Structure 1
């Protein structure tokens, strides 16, 4: 799959950027590390909070571990801006900690950079977590 295109291709229009954001939201909500990892180049560079990852294998392993710890994960993404081969999004997701049952709402921003085939070659994510009560969940 690494040689295949992942439309829509850059440069982004508002419509194509919104399609990329929706596709990412749908994939992440599947909680399928393999499906999500296929959107990235083989050598994709990630910063996720304080973690730095390189390549699909590390991304896949990171996501598998994430969704073992973050139960009932539900995400919403919103297009923030776009230009050329870059898209910025803001997002919120909710999840329950597998260890202690605490519910969390995580807010963040991502900057994405795509190659000519529409695969993401760089992802920078800044994320903040807020503890919430189960009754405060909004995304379910």
Structure 2
């Protein structure tokens, strides 16, 4: 179990919430190689219209994503869970190379192996153009969202 990523399934509400926050923190660190280690070597993804599998593809996808999504900040929230599956809703903010700001809203369905590595990830995402003054996710980045920063429900999202 050297590759184990606690918390491990079967999930309770508490461990599912911890798993979601760990994923959020990892993605906010914006290190594609480190993030990819949370997934099985053959993890299968659907992200918007992109479908791919494997850690090398995850690293390539995240490298390109964070090269074009500047000042990326993400908040995830538990939606539902079962023994080895978790559903989350999320929102993230970023700006493009031209300086235009966006908030992306989405849902993810995750399935984990016995070691707590994500083996399946399905993400549906929509982007909404926002102004800089409409931004709600303001903390030093890259890095985790501070514990005292509101979550999605508290922000009315």
- For 2:126, what is the secondary structure of its paired residue? strand
Q: Does 1:121 align with 2:119?
A: yes
- For 1:29, what is the secondary structure of its paired residue? helix
Q: Does 1:72 align with 2:71?
A: yes
In the alignment, structure 2 segments of 5+ residues that lack a partner are: 139-157
- For 1:62, what is the secondary structure of its paired residue? helix
- For 2:9, what is the secondary structure of its paired residue? coil
CA distance in 1, matches of 2:60, 2:85: 25
CA distance in 2, matches of 1:3, 1:26: 21
* Residue correspondences, number: 138
CA distance in 1, matches of 2:23, 2:87: 12
Aligned equivalent of 1:130? 128
Where do 4+ consecutive residues of structure 1 move more than 6 Å? none
In the alignment, structure 1 segments of 5+ residues that lack a partner are: none
CA distance in 1, matches of 2:2, 2:115: 8
CA distance in 2, matches of 1:53, 1:60: 11
Aligned equivalent of 1:61? 60
Aligned equivalent of 1:104? 102
The Cα of 1:41 is off from its aligned counterpart by 0.2
TM-score by length of 1: 0.96
CA distance in 2, matches of 1:27, 1:82: 20
What is the CA deviation profile of residues 60-89 of structure 1, one whole-angstrom value per residue up to 9, with x for unaligned ones? 010000000000000000000000100000
Question: Using a 3 Å threshold, how does the CA distance of structure 1 residues 104 and 31 change in structure 2: closer, same or farther?
Answer: same
Give the CA RMSD over aligned residues: 1.0
CA distance in 2, matches of 1:129, 1:4: 34
TM-score by length of 2: 0.86
CA distance in 2, matches of 1:36, 1:49: 19
The Cα of 1:101 is off from its aligned counterpart by 1.4
